[in-house]
Structure 1
Amino acid sequence: MSATLLDKLAELESRYAWNTLTVDGHEWRWLDTGGAGKAAVLLPGSVGDGAMFVSTLLSLGERLRLVAVTYPAEADPATLADGLAQVMDYIDLPAAAIVGSSFAAYWAQHFALLHPQRVRSLVIGNGFTDGSDLADNPLFDRRYVEGVEPEALHAEWLGRIRNAPASELAQLQEVMLAQRQSPENLHARFLGVVRSMPCPALPIPASRITVLDCQDDPLIPPAARARLRSNYPEARHTTLERGGHYPHLLNPVGYEAVLLRCAS
């Protein structure tokens, strides 16, 4: 019987220890596989911590140095970018492939804007240009997100996941929300999404940028995917036929092929 995602999560955390650093009063946490190859920093989206990359960490963690980061309850992309730079200083990582998913794909662009010397390559995965891309989805209505209490938002998302069809992804998301991600953290990430503005042009070559999306992504509509690609016309555009909003979990083979190419 193949291991479930929760089995893999237990294996991951028996193999690698969490590390922490407080930056300007905010706690950052990460797993570092210490692999022999080049480094990649993995940044999760709105739901979950760095262990959302569990399949990738177990599959490639010895081949690459993978640093999977849990970032704090902060909505401002510049603050997050500067915090990540301090984490990289702390672990003596001058530069790496920066791999963002969803909200982190947004603020990873600001990391490349503010700290271009730290970016060997940039993967903008299942991302968006700004909050207007998701405004038609009631879950990302700015007025709602700015007005809701963190505990209510957290409870709503936990309820949605518990009422969703049974799947390994839903089981992992439930563990993340019920046990590992605070209401304040989830709310800050949603605020970061709905308040997001287009990132200015990046001071890194287009050849070092990959825009990754999935045809079956239920959260990022086709028009938003096209808009993001149009912002980086000379970058590498990779579309996976399947993977939903979490290709690192739902299409690990396709996702890991992209990561290996970008980290090399």
Structure 2
Amino acid sequence: MEDESVSTAMLTGTLAGDRSDDPLSSGVMEVCPVAQGARVFERIADDLRRQIHTGQLEAGEELPSEAALAEQHDVARGTVRQAFTLLEMEGLITVVPSIGRVVRSWNPKPLGVTLTAGREKAGHVHVGVQQPPGYIAELIDEEGELVRRLLTGDLSSVTDTWYPAWVVERVPALESSRPLDDGDLAVIERAGVSAVGRPRVQVRAVMADPEYRGLLGVTVGTPLLVQLTAPTGVDGRPLLVRRRTMAADRSFVEFDLG
């Protein structure tokens, strides 16, 4: 199989325009006001959101305390807490131990992403049989539980691979927690099943669940980039679905379309 790789980069947009009456011509996107009748905590959240978007509150800067905002807006601290929770869910702020709530820092770095698996390291392979997420089950086109090999030890990204039962029958080593002696596609090919053509690739955005918050060391409200790769055999059936998960505030992905 021809080795294919994907480098990384962030998808960005450029605001442009030469008309003075164009609200985007300045390159600054106007933040829409909260609708009339919004609850108090939503109005507090909107005020903080404006300060973040306009740079009044900068990345890494600590937000005013619950007590200070409660006094400023003449509300209970619980109301301010609701506003903070809303902004945390939006990924605009995060909680830093011993400091408090701060504006989330977005400083993504390029991250090399390969479509083929390299050699596995001892102590970093975790194997189980479990129900896959719906989007993986759809790609692999098989119902029920699947063998999952999870590779850990790298906080920049986490890779796990899901295998259909018929492939595991051909390659029982996929069920062992011992590291494979080669990339899994090479091991599968030695069992008489070869990948052909270009693999199917998807990129999705999801929010970090408890498992991935622990694996990647991120906080609640952190969005994740998920790259899914599904190489197929000569009969068109997927041989596996590989998922590489990256924190979107650390990494970005770029594809060269040929």
TM-score by length of 1: 0.23
**Higher share in helix:** 1
